[in-house]
Amino acid sequence: MNLELDGKTVIVTGGARGIGAAIVRALAAEGARAIIIDRERALAETLLKEVNAGASGCMFVEADLVDVAACRSAVVEAERVAGRVHAVVNNAGVNDGVGLATGTPDQFVASLERNLVHYYVIAQCALPSLVAARGAIVNIASKVALTGQGNTSGYAAAKGGILALTREWAVELAPSGVRVNAVVPAEVMTPLYHQWLDTFPDPGAKLADITRRIPLGQRMTTSEEIASAVLFLLSARASHITGQHIHVDGGYVHLDRAMP
């Protein structure tokens, strides 16, 4: 299936590793130019050497997404180099463990800045380009927005906000022809997920306990499966899909985890 992404320019925040890197690789394979906005220069440069071997023209803009001015400058730089941004994938974030009993109000606000505020800033800065291109936004959320996890109030609130903003922006931007959707992962083996597993006394046992509860295949979702869903939603093949929360999780959230 031709996704008609060839020649399109797509901003990917947090695109240097994990799910973001998988999205960048998938975009490059489709002939799109990914603009990685991230603070991880070494990881981004390594990734660019890989994907640009196919002359995709992907690039890196270094920015700390907690800094609003840096977000704005990054989008300006992306547009300066690429001419026009056709789509945005808001992906960057971290499950930072700011809980209700263990966190402070300042830590809670900082968590929202790490995980939510830059979604708004990047989308707003890119909006004129997106409207001109009748483009698309895909927001990466998390199952934690719907299921909770415990001891991660900031992250849960941010991811819930992302789902709400997806619907809000879909309404606001529909007259402009800009589509907005969210992809909702559950259990995906990223470097950050691996770090989380390592906090348990027996990471292997914890992983086995998680995967046995995933209805489809009793396995983790791959980053590449998340990327495939993102690319579809960015593409012309999803031309009448907006305001949706697409779960790519092997049925983890919505199916009975006690099923045989």
Q: Tell me: the pLDDT tens digits for 157-195?
A: 999 999 999 999 999 999 999 999 999 999 999 988 999
- Contact present, 55 and 63 (Cβ < 8 Å): no
d(CA 259, CA 84): 48
Q: What is the pLDDT of residues 71-102, one digit of tens each?
A: 999 999 999 999 899 999 999 999 999 999 99
Q: Which helix (H) or strand (E) holds 108?
A: helix 105-112
Model pLDDT, residue 260 = 66
What pLDDT is stored for residue 168 in this prediction? 98
* Percentage with pLDDT > 70 across the chain: 99
Q: Which CATH class is domain 9-186+222-247?
A: alpha beta
Which residues are catalytic, by number? 155
Q: pLDDT tier at 229 (50, 70, 90 boundaries)?
A: very high
For residue 53, name the pLDDT band (cuts at 50, 70, 90): confident
- Angle, CA 34 vertex, CA 33 and CA 36 arms, to 5°: 150
Angle subtended at Cα 129 by Cα 127 and Cα 134, rounded to the nearest 5 degrees: 90
Per-residue confidence (pLDDT) for residue 56, from 0 to 100: 75
- What is the pLDDT averaged over residues 41-66? 93
217 pLDDT band, cuts 50/70/90, is very high
44 Cβ contact partners less than 8 Å away, ≥ 6 residues apart = 15, 16, 36, 38, 60, 62
Average pLDDT, the chain: 96
pLDDT of residue 68: 98
Band (1; pLDDT cuts 50, 70, 90): confident
CATH 3.40.50.720 maps onto the chain at 9-186+222-247
Q: How far apart are the first and last CA of the chain?
A: 35
Q: What percent of the chain has pLDDT over 90?
A: 94
